[in-house]
Amino acid sequence: MKVLVVGGSQGIGASLVRRLRAGNHSVTFTYCRHEKEAGQLASSTGAERVLYDFHSAESIQKLARVAEDGGFDGFVYCAAQLYAREALLKMETAVFMEYVTTGIRGVFEVSRAFASGIQKRKARGSIVHLLSSVVLAAAPEKQGAYVALKYLHWGLARSQAAEFSKYGIRVNAVSPGMTRTDFNADLPARFIETVEYGLPMGRIAEPDEVAAAIQFLLSPESSYMNDVNLPVTGG
């Protein structure tokens, strides 16, 4: 299997790259700000790295060409946009719209390009979108733009599942709860402890546990799974 992991230099994406390479799969992953970490991951695993910035239309178009012409069988979108932590009543419309538009454009263009490549090759493929547990339960406060983006992302994934299946492409998603990554590095330790106290398993997820679910949805073992949003939330 040949897989393109968008957002693979750290956290869940990096764990997935390691898992896939351990299974002797060919992997290309993208990075943006974390060049040092991307270089170390590429060196240690033999995966190929590609620079990608979803804030840049040119960068999106370049990666879309890679996704379409690279002969990939699997596609995972893990690229994360940091929270815009602000109450909706205080958030400017322009800020909200920019956050949501920036967050979804790369997902739309690059995943569509991957599907186009599969269709042209008359091959079979699997797409996995990394979402969030915010689409499974009550929305947290002061994250309205983030929540709206994740619901939009899930809606896109469901539409792809309906349309792409006729071309031999399965489309699924994984929605993890809070995971021990740099994405949550700005949160106070006491807040994370409170979250863990309220979880049935008493802890937040490790990146590799989420990566394992993604790997499963990419694999032939999930061959009859389509339009699924798999919770990885510890109960």
Which phi and psi angles does 172 have, rounded to 5°? -135, 180
The neighbouring-strand residues paired with 51 are 31
Q: What is the CA 211 to chain-centroid distance, rounded? A: 10
Cα(8)–Cα(30) distance, rounded to whole angstroms?
6
The CA distance from 99 to 83, in Å, is 9
Q: Give 140's contacts (C-beta < 8 A, 6+ positions apart).
A: 134, 147
Catalytic site residue from 31, 52, 146, 167: 146
Which two tokens mark 61? 């178009």
Active-site residue, 146 included = yes
| Bridge partners (DSSP) listed for residue 232 | 176
- Positions annotated as catalytic residues are 146
